[in-house]
Amino acid sequence: MATPALERTGRTAETRREPHASEARGPERRWVKPVLLWLAVVLIIVFCLFPFYWLINVSLKTGPDLSQADLLPPEPTLDNYQSIFENADFTKALRNSVGITFITTALALVFGSFAAYALARLRFPRKFLLLAVILSITTFPPIAIAAPLFKLWTELGLYNTWAGLIIPNLTFALPLCIYILASFFREIPKELEEAALVDGATHFQAFRKVVLPLAAPGLVTAGLLTAFFVWNEFLLAITLTSSPSARTVPAAIAFFTGSQKFEVPIGTISAASVVITIPLVALVIIFQKRIVAGLTAGAVKG
């Protein structure tokens, strides 16, 4: 396997060096393609970053500056940030979000890595059917279970609690988690496990001592994507909570905007939106490779 891969990368570098689009039209137009490409790259960067920059810009303005469409805040101020952190509803929501995200992600990784190992390595009948059922959950519209959960949670005392959000979030996060982990587990050489099995280890020991440590990057990827998903969840967060005591940040922000006139707290809302997004952007910058690997896991197979 290793040799053709090497051969291919060697070839790639070779073909890359020649500017293939221009060769038919002569050397005088060789600059056209790099310039167009460069323009496209700038366009992509502006398209992706500018709107978020604009939000940060708005969050640094107060009073009449807000209504001026200046690209730079004339008098940048952190007042909005100060007021958001003085708002008890927001800080409570922040704590709820962090707690719910951590617990859900941890549970998803534990449950998910068990299930993924079984699907990736153990042999049992009707595996395809099982995988199809698990994956079909990713297509469920959360609205379809909102009413029954609302009713059930009220009866069970889970309405407006952390557990009431952790449980459904776990359900919706698990399929993705299992899918990513299974595709990582399958890439670990079987020989390592088989050596452990020959040495007298049980399947479970092979899983815990051999596979799991080797799949650490996969756990990071799956954990990150699960955490992003839970942090972002909105519909259940507003349907299954009634007060700031269990409300997560996206829901809290929607309630800032929903009830009152938009012009009053726009600076504050922008600041809150920036605060909850910055950690995610930081994670994206640090774990860019892992996240891309997770997003594309299994997507390229024909």
Partner 1 sequence: MEAATARLRRRPRGRDGYGRSERRLAATMLAPSLIVIAAVAAYPIGYAFWLSLTEYSLRTPGLWRFAGFDNYSEALSSPEFWDALTTTFVFSGISVGLELVIGLGMALCMHEAFKGRAILRTVVLVPWAVLTVTTAITWRTIFEPGLGLAPVLLDKLGLPGADIVWLGEEPYALGVMILADVWKTAPFMALLILAGLQVIPDELYDAAKVDGASAWQRFRRITLPLLRPAILVALIFRTLDALRIFDLPFVLTQGANGTTTLSLIAQQELTTNRLIGLGSALSVLTFLIVMAVAFIYIRALGGNIRALAEET
Which amino acid is it at 54? W
Looking only at residues 71 through 100 of this chain, which bind partner 1 when binding is defined by CB under 8 A?
none
Q: Which residue type occupies 125?
A: P
Q: Within 10 Å of residue 128's Cβ, how many Cβ atoms?
A: 9
| Closest CB 267 distance from partner 1, rounded Å | 10
How are the residues of the chain apportioned to helix, strand and coil, as percentages rounded to the nearest 5? 75, 0, 25
Q: Which of 30, 95, 186, 209 binds partner 1 (CB under 8 A)?
A: 186
* Minimal distance, residue 67 CB to partner 1, in Å: 5
Q: What single DSSP character describes residue 209?
A: I
Q: Which residues within the stretch 50-69 sit at the binding site for partner 1 (CB under 8 A)?
A: 51-52, 54-55, 58, 66-67, 69
Q: Which of 79, 83, 91, 150 binds partner 1 (CB under 8 A)?
A: 150
Q: How far is the CB of 218 from partner 1 (least distance, A)?
A: 15
Selected from 204, 209, 260, 264, the binder of partner 1 by CB under 8 A is: 204
Least distance from partner 1 to the Cβ atom of residue 82, Å: 19
DSSP code string of 141-200: -THHHHHHHHHHHHHHT-TTSHHHHHHHHHHHHHHHHHHHHHHHHTTS-HHHHHHHHHTT
Helix (H) or strand (E) holding 112: helix 88-121
Residues 102-141 that bind partner 1 (CB under 8 A): 110-112, 114-115, 117-125, 127-128, 130-141
Contacts with partner 1 by CB under 8 A: the residue count is: 118
Count of alpha carbons within 13 angstroms of residue 27, beta-carbon side: 0
In whole angstroms, the minimum distance from the beta carbon of 62 to partner 1 comes to: 12
